[in-house]
């Protein structure tokens, strides 16, 4: 074998080795992602303010009853829904066709379409909506950073419902939380929250009895954007 053929062979062999190495890295990355996605997400209480509006939309800031837009710091939220069978990470799969609802209070701590001791918003539908998960298990919402109200730390409710084409229909409900230091910064800097009054009187995560039941695993990892924040959260549903 002459020198040119030898170099060509070595080059081809090196390319194959690099290709296998790159493929192995890709597989390892995918396995890590699946492990993260397949961690079962803690279920938490629905709370008193869920209303099944059947309002399919991505941007939930507007009130369809009058077209008004809720003030507040923009939050882009992506939720990815996965099945999380026990003991078999390799079988973790995104769930397509799941109905994902989110709802939360506005900058003043008020929910829409409910009657409460301090407000009556029946007929309003701001900061509520659902999306249907795509083939990657994903749904995307545009909303605002939630406000607060007495007795609870800052949170977003979410509910996931699958249909009969899966092993069994499933309804899963939980809540997302925020790092208290980021909330402090948002409430000081954005005028929509300042009108609520002193944010220092609000309940913080560690003092919230619901948060203490797994809330540390439900904190959104926020990324600062030009217009606000963005976050992605993988929800693992057991036996979905």
pLDDT of residue 153: 97
Residue 115: strand, helix, or coil: strand
pLDDT of residue 233: 95
For 163-217, the pLDDT digits (tens) are 755 545 789 999 999 999 999 999 998 999 987 766 668 899 999 999 999 999 9
pLDDT of residue 143: 98
**Element housing 177 (H / E):** strand 171-177
Interacting residues of 82 by C-beta distance below 8 A, sequence separation 6+: 34, 37, 38, 92, 93, 94, 95, 137, 234, 235, 236, 237, 240
Largest CA distance in the chain: 90
Residue tagged 């709802």 (tokens): 103
pLDDT of residue 88: 54
The one-character DSSP state at 204 is: P
Radius of gyration over alpha carbons of the chain, in Å? 22
Q: Are the beta carbons of 81 and 140 closer than 8 angstroms?
A: no
What pTM does this model have? 0.82
The one-character DSSP state at 43 is: P
pLDDT in tens, the chain (240 residues): 444 443 333 343 344 434 444 444 544 444 444 455 567 789 999 999 999 999 999 999 999 999 999 999 999 999 999 987 764 556 678 999 999 999 999 999 999 999 998 899 999 999 999 999 999 999 999 999 999 999 999 999 999 998 755 545 789 999 999 999 999 999 998 999 987 766 668 899 999 999 999 999 999 999 999 899 999 999 988 866
């Amino acid at each position: 074998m002459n020198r040119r053929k030898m170099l060509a062979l070595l080059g081809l062999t090196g390319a194959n080795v690099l290709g296998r190495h790159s493929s192995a890295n890709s597989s390892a990355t995918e396995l890590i992602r699946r492990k993260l996605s397949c961690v079962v997400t803690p279920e938490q209480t629905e709370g008193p303010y869920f209303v099944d509006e059947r309002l399919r939309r991505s941007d939930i800031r507007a009130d369809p009853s009058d077209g008004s837009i809720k003030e507040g710091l923009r939050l882009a939220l992506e939720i990815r829904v996965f099945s999380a069978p026990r003991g078999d990470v390799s079988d973790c799969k995104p769930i397509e066709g799941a109905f994902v609802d989110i709802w939360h209070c506005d900058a003043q701590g008020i929910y829409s379409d409910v009657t409460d001791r301090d407000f009556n918003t029946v007929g309003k539908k701001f900061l509520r909506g659902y999306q249907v998960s795509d083939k990657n298990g994903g749904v995307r919402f545009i909303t605002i950073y939630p406000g607060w109200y007495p007795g609870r730390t800052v949170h977003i409710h979410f509910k996931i419902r699958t249909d009969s084409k899966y092993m069994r229909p499933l309804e899963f409900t939980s809540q997302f939380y925020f790092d208290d230091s980021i909330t402090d910064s948002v409430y000081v800097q954005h005028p929509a929250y300042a009108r609520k009054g002193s944010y220092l009187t609000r309940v913080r995560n560690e003092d919230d009895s619901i948060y203490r039941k797994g809330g540390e695993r439900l904190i959104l990892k926020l990324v600062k954007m030009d217009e606000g924040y963005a976050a992605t959260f993988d929800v693992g549903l057991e036996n979905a």
